[in-house]
A and B are shown apart, each in its own frame.
Chain A
Amino acid sequence: MTTQSVLTGIIVEETTEFTLGELSRACGKPAEWILALVEEGVIEPVGTDQTRWHFRGHCLRRVRIVQRLQSDLGLNLAGAALALELLEEVEALRSRIAVLER
């Protein structure tokens, strides 16, 4: 199946804010799971009242990585959160090494 028309999307990290429901739908997990991620400090909501929470676009990537680590490797939430932080650190170090090695 080929679509001929050109699709225009929006950059999630810059223009999108997710509600709790939208974020949970974007990764196909229940809202309780997202709440657990907030509890664990993996993502931070904007706003005070839980019913009006918003999540900035960049949260989606973190949520997806935690989701994959949990389902593929059987990590628990704390383990996946730790792995995510270490992965981000490794990524930052790798990119600094790449600059230094050139």
Chain B
Amino acid sequence: MEYKDYYKIIGLKRDASQDEIRRAYRKLARKYHPDVSKEKDAEARFKEVGEAYEVLKDPEKRAAYDHLGADFKAGQDFHPPPNWDSGFEFRGGGFTDADKAGFSDFFEELFGQQGHAGHAAYGPQFNARGQDHHAKVVVDLEDAFHGATRSISLQSPELDKHGQMRLTNRTLNVKIPKGIKEGQQIRLVGQGTPGMGQGVKGDLYLEIHFKPHPFYRAEGRDLHMQLPVAPWEAALGATVKAPTPDGKVDLKIPAGSNSGNKLRLKGRGIPGNPAGDIYVTLSVVAPPANSEQDKALYKEMASKLAFNPRADMGV
């Protein structure tokens, strides 16, 4: 188990005041909130910051944590000394309103026992529908074109037989429906928490996101892509090959096209009713001038074409 430096995570010195801790936490929570932040590891950071705050905001837990000493380095192998928490009294549940299931082993080891007590108060004597669960799933854009079956690993907190929260892993084979769009949710009936007594199981909602694709970017059912073309293809017009998730297609470039011009491949986007389109933005690429012959061609153009690309700038 690795030692976690909660002060470092929250960006403060060990002698920070409770007010400073609260302010630092609120700032970081806004910064890394997974709905707000676009940083890659936002979710992990948000959880880490939440865990740190869970300990540091509570003077009792903080004192116990400080008592471990300042000599540990983050990531260092850590085993709590025996009776490390003797002389500290933790009140009640301890977890307050935080999402206890997502915390690290380090947290579990130090505060787990006190925290879990009193959480199994729900008796089986009444019937209730199980809770609905939510998870995010990342799939390939191509899956939305052809439909696919994907194996999805989920971690969910469940009460074990001692009434303690434990993370359990399960793998589900889920059909990704053809035509699904970024951000849409799939509802799997009966895959949430088991109900209590005679209550039915809750549902599981999977929010679908696409892996970033090297060519395409999805917007609803439409795809956007850039297509490189040669200057003569743009100037003279041409029929060129363009990739689509359904295979290569022939695309007619009108004469007199230029960088930034948009073409639409109707109905070639994500299938559906109606199917999306693919918007192709042309990007004229200048050929390299490596050989003498290349250079001669460029020189000929320079001498024969009356072309000033900066005419609009008045220079």
Give the tally of cross-chain contacts (CB within 8 A). Answer: 100
Smallest beta-carbon distance B235→chain A, Å: 22
The answer to whether B36 has its CB under 8 Å from any CB of chain A is yes
Cβ–Cβ < 8 Å partners of B131 in chain A: 28
Most buried by A among B35, B131, B149, B206: B35
**Interface size on B (CB < 8 Å)?**
47
Residue of B nearest to A74 (CB): B26
- Of the stretches B78-86, B117-125, B170-178, B301-309, the one at the interface is B170-178
Knowing A7-B191, A65-B35, A94-B38, say if A25 contacts B185 (CB, 8 Å).
Answer: no
Answer whether A64 and B134 are a contact pair too, CB < 8 Å, given A10-B187, A73-B29.
yes
The range of chain A's interface size is 35 or more
Question: CB within 8 A of B170: which of A2, A8, A25, A61?
Answer: A2
Question: B9 an interface residue at 8 Å Cβ cutoff?
Answer: no
Measured CB to CB, the residues of B under 8 A from A are: 26, 29-30, 33-36, 38, 46, 50, 97, 129, 131-132, 134, 149, 168-175, 177, 179-181, 183-189, 191, 202-203, 205-207, 217, 219, 224-226, 281
25 A–B contacts from the bound complex (CB under 8 Å): A3-B171, A6-B174, A7-B173, A7-B188, A7-B191, A9-B175, A9-B187, A9-B188, A9-B206, A10-B177, A11-B186, A25-B132, A26-B203, A28-B131, A60-B185, A61-B207, A68-B34, A72-B29, A72-B46, A72-B50, A87-B36, A95-B217, A98-B217, A102-B225, A102-B281
